[in-house]
C-alpha cells in the first residue's frame, strides 16, 4: 500500500506545501488526491514567488492587465486568489467527504502585517470574503500581535491556519486562543461546528539552527563528555520539541473547556507539521514524516518529500513514543549552553524576515513581468 495513504490509518492527513497554476490546469492536484490520498494544500509568499518567476502560467493575467494601470500588488492578489480558489474547488470533494475535517487550501496575509494586529484582522477578513469558499484557511503568523488577531478571527467564524510556530509556549497560547475564540463564537449564537483551524508548527528549521550552534561549540573546545553529549543531540531536537508540543495539544483538547465545545460540534485545532523536508544530508529524507505520525495531525510536505515518502516511507504511530527521551533531549540542550527560547525567538524573527523578502521579490517579479507585457 502507498505509505502516504497509510498515514490516514493513524489519524494523520497529508497536505502538499506547494501551489502553482499547473496544479489546477494540468490535473496535478487532482492526481495527488486520487493516487496519494492528499487532503489539503498550503501556500506562502516563497511558493508564489517561485511559481511566478519560474513559469509562464500567469501570462493571461499579465496580458489582461496591460495598459489598465494595475499595480504589482493588485495583480499578485488576483493570481493568488485565483489559484487558491481553484485549488479549493478541486479539494471540495475531500471537504465534503470528510465533513469539513479536511480539503482546505490556505492563503497568507501579507508578511508585512506580521506585527500588526489591526492590519492582520482587516486583511484576513477581506481575503476571507474575496475567496468566498468554505474550505479555505487564511494564514496568520503566530507572532505576539498575531495571537489576539487569530482569537478574534476564530470568534467571527473564519478558518485560520496559524503559521510560523516554533516554541511550545507560543503553541500553547495559540491552542488556548482557539478555545477562547470558539467560546466567544458560541456565546454569540454562532455555529462552532463550521470553523476549522490548524496550528503550523515548524520542524526542520529547529535542527538546522541547533546543529549549527552545536558545531560552533564543538569547534570552540569542549571536554570529551561535552562532545559526546552534543553529538548525540544532532538531528534530535526538532522532533523532541514537536513531540512535547503535541503533548500540550492533548492537554488543551482533553480539557473540560474543550469538551463543552466538542459537545456543540467543534473541531479540534489540529497540529500541522510544517517545514518537514530535511535540511541536512546526514538525516533520512523522510525523518520528519516518519517520527511525527499521530492522531489529529497534518503533515504538509513539499513535492520532493511526498515523492520520497511514497517511495520508501515507513509508517508507525511514532508521535507519542518515548516522551521521557524527548524531555531528556531538551534538558541536554540547555546543559550544552543552548537556549531553546533564543533558538525559537530567532527562528520566528527570521521566518517573518524571509517571508517578507520573498513577498518583496514576488511583487518585484510581478512588476517586472507587467512592464514587459
Residues in contact with 238: Cβ distance below 8 Å, sequence separation at least 6, in sequence order: 203, 204, 205, 206, 207, 210, 288
Return all residues near 317 (Cβ < 8 A) that are at least 6 apart: 10, 293, 294
Please, are residues 65 and 373 in contact by the beta-carbon 8 Å criterion?
yes
Taking alpha carbons only, the member of 170, 144, 146, 172 closest to residue 160 is 146
What is the C-alpha R_g of the chain?
21
139 is catalytic: yes
Q: Which three cell numbers stand for residue 154?
A: 476564530
Cell of 335: 546543559
* Residue tagged active-site, from 31, 39, 50, 139: 139
CA–CA gap between residue 140 and residue 128 (Å, rounded): 12
C-alpha cell at 349: 524573527
Is 210:235 a contact under the CB 8 Å cutoff? no
Which residues are 106's β-sheet partners?
A: 137
Question: Taking the CB of residue 327, how many other CB atoms lie within 10 A of it?
Answer: 14
Residue entry with cell 500553547: 172
DSSP states of 178-192: HHHHHHHHHHTT--G
Going by C-alpha positions, the residue among 22, 42, 29 that lies closest to residue 299 is 42
CB of 351 within 8 A of CB of 111?
no
- Helix-helix angle 28-36:72-97, to 10 degrees: 30
**Torsion over CA of 224, 225, 226 and 229, rounded to 10 degrees?**
120
Q: Residue 9 is placed in which grid cell?
A: 490509518
CA gap 223, 215 in Å, rounded? 14
Contact (CB, 8 A) for 368 and 62: no
For residue 234, the surrounding DSSP H or E stretch is: none
Could you give the residue numbers annotated as active site?
139
Amino acid at each position: 500500500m502507498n505509505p502516504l495513504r497509510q498515514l490516514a490509518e493513524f489519524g494523520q492527513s497529508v497536505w502538499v506545501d506547494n501551489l502553482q497554476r499547473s496544479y489546477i490546469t494540468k490535473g496535478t492536484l487532482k492526481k495527488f488526491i486520487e493516487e496519494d490520498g492528499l487532503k489539503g494544500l498550503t501556500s506562502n509568499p516563497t511558493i508564489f514567488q517561485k511559481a511566478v518567476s519560474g513559469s509562464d502560467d500567469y501570462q493571461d493575467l499579465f496580458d489582461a492587465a496591460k495598459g489598465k494601470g494595475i499595480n504589482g500588488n493588485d495583480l499578485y492578489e488576483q493570481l493568488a486568489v485565483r489559484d487558491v480558489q481553484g485549488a479549493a474547488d478541486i479539494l471540495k470533494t475531500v471537504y465534503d467527504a470528510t465533513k469539513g475535517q479536511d480539503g482546505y487550501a490556505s492563503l497568507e496575509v501579507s508578511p508585512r502585517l506580521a506585527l500588526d494586529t489591526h492590519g492582520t484582522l482587516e486583511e484576513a477578513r477581506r481575503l476571507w470574503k474575496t475567496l468566498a469558499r468554505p474550505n479555505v484557511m487564511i494564514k496568520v503568523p503566530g507572532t505576539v500581535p498575531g495571537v489576539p488577531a487569530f482569537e478574534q478571527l476564530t470568534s467571527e467564524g473564519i478558518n485560520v491556519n496559524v503559521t510560523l510556530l516554533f516554541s511550545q509556549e507560543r503553541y500553547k497560547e495559540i491552542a488556548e486562543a482557539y478555545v477562547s475564540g470558539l467560546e466567544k463564537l458560541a456565546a454569540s449564537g454562532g455555529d462552532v461546528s463550521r470553523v476549522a483551524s490548524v496550528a503550523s508548527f515548524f520542524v526542520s528549521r529547529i535542527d538546522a539552527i541547533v546543529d549549527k550552534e552545536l558545531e560552533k561549540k564543538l569547534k570552540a573546545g569542549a571536554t570529551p563528555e561535552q562532545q559526546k553529549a552534543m553529538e548525540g543531540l544532532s538531528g534530535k531536537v526538532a522532533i523532541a520539541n514537536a513531540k512535547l508540543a503535541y503533548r500540550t495539544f492533548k492537554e488543551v483538547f482533553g480539557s473540560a473547556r474543550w469538551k463543552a465545545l466538542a459537545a456543540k460540534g467543534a473541531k479540534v485545532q489540529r497540529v500541522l507539521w510544517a517545514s518537514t523536508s530535511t535540511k541536512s544530508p546526514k538525516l533520512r529524507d523522510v525523518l520528519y514524516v516518519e517520527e511525527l505520525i499521530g492522531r489529529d495531525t497534518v503533515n504538509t510536505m513539499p513535492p520532493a518529500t511526498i515523492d520520497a515518502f511514497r517511495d520508501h516511507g515507513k509508517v508507525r504511530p511514532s508521535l507519542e513514543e518515548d516522551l521521557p527521551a524527548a524531555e531528556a533531549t531538551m534538558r541536554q540542550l540547555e546543559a550544552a549552553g543552548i537556549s531553546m527560547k533564543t533558538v525559537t525567538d530567532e527562528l520566528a524573527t527570521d521566518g517573518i524576515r524571509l517571508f517578507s523578502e520573498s513577498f518583496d521579490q514576488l511583487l518585484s517579479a510581478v512588476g517586472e513581468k507587467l512592464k514587459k507585457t
